């Protein structure tokens, strides 16, 4: 089973040349807010208000590391669940406590006291 089709796929490209310094600045700024450079650049180019990018913005180094770790963890969980769905294998017994921990961490980050 493949990924569902997007309602409005991105089927156009816009190639942009950057100097090495511009590219490094873009990559550094994207990492600082927890985004891939391509998504960060798209956000900057299409933001008509010219407001600073705040998506996933961490306020200090520990929050940046936590955000990055949660992103990687979410990716790994997604791959594992996709594999389980494809093979029909049952969920591992230790998965639910891990998911509960993740939900608790996320709710804390959202200011929710569950």
Q: What is the pLDDT of residue 87?
A: 92
How many other CB atoms are found less than 10 A from the CB of residue 76?
A: 10
Segment 18-76, tens digit of pLDDT: 999 999 988 988 888 888 888 888 888 887 665 555 554 546 777 777 777 778 888 88
Beta carbons of 34 and 56 less than 8 angstroms apart:
yes
Euclidean distance between CA atoms 27 and 97, whole angstroms = 35
Inter-CA distances, 70 with 24, 38, 67, 102, 106, Å? 24, 20, 5, 8, 9
Average pLDDT over residues 80-100: 84
């Amino acid at each position: 089973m493949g990924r569902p089709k997007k309602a409005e796929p991105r089927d156009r490209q816009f190639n942009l040349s950057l100097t090495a310094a511009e590219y490094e600045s873009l990559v550094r700024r994207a990492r600082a807010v927890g985004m891939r450079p391509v998504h960060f650049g798209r956000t900057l180019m299409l933001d008509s208000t010219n407001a600073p990018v705040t998506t996933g913005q961490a306020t200090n180094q520990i929050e940046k590391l936590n955000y990055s770790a949660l992103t990687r963890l979410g990716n790994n969980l997604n791959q594992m669940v996709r594999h389980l769905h494809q093979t029909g294998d049952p969920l591992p017994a230790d998965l639910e406590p891990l998911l509960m921990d993740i939900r608790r961490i996320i709710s804390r980050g959202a200011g929710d006291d569950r």
